[in-house]
Amino acid sequence: MPSSNKKRKNNQSLEDRVQAELEKLIVTCPKCKKVYTGKEAFEHLYICPECGKYMPIGAKERLVMLLDEGSFRPWYEDVLTGNPLDTADYEEKIQSIQKKSGCSEAVTIGRGKIAGYETVIGVCDPNFMMGSMGQAMGERITRAFEKATRLKLPVILFCCSGGARMQEGIISLMQMEKTSAAVKLHSDAGLFYCSVLTDPTMGGVTASFSTLADVILAEPQARIGFAGPRVIQQTIGTVLPQGFQTAEFQMEHGFVDRLVERKNLRNELHYLLYAHRGPNKSRLRLRTGVPVLKHQLDPESVELMNRHDKTPWDKVKMCRSGERATATDYIIRIFKDFREMHGDRYFGDDRALVGGIAFLGETPVTIIADLRGKSFEERVRRNFGMPKPEGYRKAIRLMKQAEKFRRPVISFINTSGAFCGIDAEERGQGQAIAQSIMEMSMLKTPTLSILIGEGGSGGALATAVGNEVWMLEHSTYAILSPEGYSAILWKTEGKAEEAAAVMKITAQDLAELGVIDRIIPEFGGATEVTAQKISNVMSQAITDMLKKYEHMTGDEIMADRYARFRKF
């Protein structure tokens, strides 16, 4: 036990509850398989005395190890998992996990003290669906950041997650946007946020709140990455280097500030809270009184929403077809004088995600677009439309530039996903996506995102934080490919068509869920033949949309966007 634990008194329920649970607990070391009683494991901080392995720790035990005794006050225990997509058997599964884990959700969050310093603290629980992020977890974290901003308190988050929660599909992706935006408001108020990455921190959580902290700590040997190692290995067919995606690897590549042994964590956090103590001036407050535009579907979108002449799988195939019109087809027809700007100023120029300046009528705008190419040569050159971190960092650079000069940002989204590979992870794919979401969410200039083909997961989301988000009639927007969904939930890639049917990935489904604001007609299917007609509709719609924001201040535009994503 660390010496600082000795001072604690024993009169609080959290500590008592943990003690009672430890009595019944048997812990097996995942590495050497030695078996311990709960009390033994806890006394050794869940580090195997035999082989030194860091074993997973439940949220409540972690809080008891870290906090001054009796100081923890849980928040939002009543925010519970719903079933937004009506996934079969999901509610029963959650109930059984709640019973087994003794936790109501995958994150336990509240207010507590470390060595006398007040902090908001949250801990993800590896025993609760691998700490995966669904709506309830996103809501608890968002509310905690909002409340911390009002109370002017720092936030510490212990992250551990398999990623976004499959069963909640696109709604769990929305949590990435929601939490990232709340982190930014907290940050803009001059408040301190520290995340601690524990084993494993993957997927949607690395691509949102966990990597947006002022200081990122990690436990030694923790697995940290965006795409899972098995997925990367299968995708590129190469053996991964020794130590790939460990905390040590991430530190070497610049994404972790410090590795901290478990026994030193309380001291480390004490130091950081001390170093960041003192009054903070809030530069930007969460303004709930700001007039927010009503986002309502126009009559044409409503009509398109109710048109079901193609199955979701038909649409998936249409989007993947070589005939599908690309962003270039629209950009040249809608805008004048597009000038591409290159480079992220950190590493390189990504041809899968391009950007630049153009004119809509007389109005200068910044355009960001996924490009997947048409000929085989172009597809290779554009990495099949799968951006790498330098693509997202270029997008961020150009969006910030747009804000400086008050240009609206219009993004065209068409990617099967962010690139899955070693170099992308080495350069921080998750962090780059997270940063893009956060910066875009806070731009003080209007943003419009248009999904024109495939919208694949975080890679699409990175540039999809629009004041309005539109979709072409037959485009798709999903948490992962139907093949991937089928493989993960049903252990076979063969049921992709069935998966597409239940995933709610079509413009029609997403308009109904309120994820998008407009459906653009395709006149039978978006190809080079129909591109002019589609461009005419888009051109008029974009002009009308930007008019709505003409007389709003930068803060109001930002608040409008914040409210749009806050509702998820």
Positions in the binding site for Zn ion (CB under 5 A): 29, 31-32, 48, 50-51, 53
The 8-class DSSP code of residue 463 comes to: T
Q: Decide whether 48 or 67 has the Cβ nearer to Zn ion.
A: 48
- For residues 566 and 361, is the Cβ–Cβ distance under 8 A? no
Q: How far is the CB of 36 from Zn ion (least distance, A)?
A: 9
Residue 28 or 553: the one with the smaller Cβ distance to Zn ion is 28
CB of 33 to Zn ion, least distance (A): 7
Residue nearer to Zn ion on the CB measure, 29 or 357: 29
Q: Residue 187 in 3-state DSSP?
A: helix
How far apart, in Å, are the Cα atoms of 85 and each of 159, 283, 454? 25, 38, 20
48/227 with CB nearer Zn ion? 48
Can you tell me the distance from the alpha carbon of 15 to that of 283, in angstroms, rounded to the nearest whole number? 38
Instruction: Report d(CA 48, CA 454) in Å as an integer.
Output: 46
Name the pairing type of β-strands 73-74 and 107-114: antiparallel
Q: Least distance (Å) from Zn ion to the CB of residue 144?
A: 34
H helix runs in 135-246, sequence order: 135-151, 169-188, 229-236
In the complex, minimum distance from the CB of residue 38 to Zn ion, in angstroms, rounded to a whole number: 16
What is the DSSP pairing of strand 336-341 with strand 353-360?
A: antiparallel
* Pick 48 or 144: Cβ nearer Zn ion: 48
Minimum CB–partner distance for residue 219 and Zn ion (Å): 16
We find the least distance from the C-beta atom of residue 228 to Zn ion, in angstroms, to be 24
Report the 10 Å Cβ neighbour count for 485: 23
Record the tokens describing residue 411, joined without a space. 């993004």
Q: Report the residue number, 29 or 136, with the smaller CB distance to Zn ion.
A: 29
Q: How far apart are the first and last CA of the chain?
A: 41
Q: Which is nearer to Zn ion, 50 or 77 (CB)?
A: 50
How much of the chain is helix, strand and coil, in % rounded to 5?
A: 45, 20, 40
Dist CA 361 CA 540 (whole Å):
11
Phi, psi of 466, deg, nearest 5: -90, 150
Nearest to Zn ion of 17, 31 (CB atom): 31
Instruction: Give min distance, CB of 53 to Zn ion, in A.
Output: 4
Kindly state the helix (H) or strand (E) to which residue 341 belongs, with its residue range. Answer: strand 336-341
User: From the CB of 52, what's the least distance to Zn ion, in Å?
Assistant: 7
What distance in Å separates the CA atoms of residue 314 and residue 474, rounded to the nearest whole number? Answer: 9
